[in-house]
Amino acid sequence: MNSSIFQKPVSIAVVIPSYKVRDHIAKVLAAMGPEVSDIYVVDDRCPHHSGDFVEQNCTDERVHVVRHVENQGVGGAVMTGYAAAIAGGADVIVKVDGDGQMDPKLLPNFVLPIVEGWADYTKGNRFYDLTHITRMPAMRLFGNSGLSLLTKVSTGYWNIFDPTNGYTAISARVAEHLPFDKISRRYFFETDILFRLNTLRAVVADVPMDAHYGDEVSNLKISKVLFEFSGKHARNLCKRLFYNYFLRDMTAATFELVVGFILLVFGSVYGAYHWILAIAHATPTPLGTIMLSAMPILIGLQLLLGVLNFDVANVPSRPISKYLPVKVKERLVGMAASTDEIQSQLNQEEKS
């Protein structure tokens, strides 16, 4: 759809995962601006039958309802929506929650960096305006801060914040290259996408926004997932370091990482062993033994800090959207379990 907001024609698709948001989704759909070409409401086996509700009460021809036979979680719903939007020929795909917390009027702010070619993926950040942070519940504020730090470390995007923010936009060409079958299906999917985007060297940008909290109930309990996510962050960190510093390329940081890790482990194990011996025999540890333990630890830490500094400076800065090859639509089959269902559903809607 052409819009005066953008300098060139662009097809914008909106994906709305629908699960227990029946009371709010009608207002969200009504607020979608004319710049949006298609809207995909993904009924993730909603117990409130939100898909049926949308079909019965929404007359907007841009709206397509896609249903899951089994609940796949918010990540699975978004991946299904991505697959449908790509098959429908979208240029940019925006993901908006159906609970009304995300203002559809901000959509051009998320799309513009992608259309102008200086970002591949954009996401909301509710922490830009410090005067509005007090609106966020204290536990959610604390949890977001902890998750943001873990996300920076595991994904390599040191320039972003507020990782649980679900207001996002992505270039469809970049989305085509995401491993849909490997991305987490539950609430970790937003962070998992960032990890996958880093392996593609995609540019991610934060978009300032305010949060709106009403009578909606969030299904994400940060206090419960903070520790659960820690293990997944550690796994992704190890994968990212291997992909970026050993498999894809080898730099000075690779040497620093290997040598620094070896020295740190050696110094720690050697020092702990002799410390235990000194306690067991009630004898003082020789100065030479202490130095032989302390020096490798200090040098190892220094080398690892060098790796950290390199990693911060190595945040992707060159957008890849225009350089990625365009995949044939048929190759989407298998990327999302319900792709065939999506296309069949859309064909039926077009005939009716």
Q: Which residues pair with 67 in a beta bridge?
A: 43
Please give the residue range of the domain that contains residue 124.
12-230+322-351
Q: Which residues pair with 41 in a beta bridge?
A: 16, 65
DSSP 23-59: HHHHHHHHT--TT--EEEEEE-S-TT-HHHHHHHH--
In a domain? residue 84: yes
Q: How far is CA 180 from CA 75, 280, 294, in A?
A: 10, 55, 46
275 and 226 in one domain?
no
26 and 59 in one domain?
yes
Q: Which residues pair with 65 in a beta bridge?
A: 41
212 and 68 in one domain?
yes
Name the nearest CA neighbour of 169 among 244, 225, 98, 119. Answer: 119
Q: What is the pLDDT of residue 224?
A: 59
The pLDDT tens digits along the chain (352 residues) read 555 566 668 999 999 999 999 989 999 999 999 999 999 999 999 999 999 999 999 999 999 999 999 999 999 999 999 999 999 999 999 999 998 889 999 999 999 999 999 999 999 998 887 766 666 767 667 777 888 899 999 999 999 998 878 899 999 999 999 999 899 888 789 999 999 999 999 999 999 988 665 554 555 555 556 677 888 999 999 999 999 999 988 999 999 999 999 999 999 999 999 999 999 988 888 999 999 999 999 999 999 999 999 999 999 999 999 888 876 444 444 444 444 555 455 455 445 5
169 and 210 in one domain?
yes
The encoded tokens of residue 34 equal 């004319």
Q: What is the pLDDT of residue 5?
A: 61
Q: What is the pLDDT of residue 144?
A: 76
pTM, to two decimals: 0.85
In a domain? residue 6: no
Q: What is the pLDDT of residue 124?
A: 94
Q: What is the pLDDT of residue 269?
A: 97
Domain count, the chain: 2
206 and 267 in one domain?
no
Name the one residue in this structure whose structure tokens are 């020789």. 286
Q: What is the pLDDT of residue 334?
A: 45
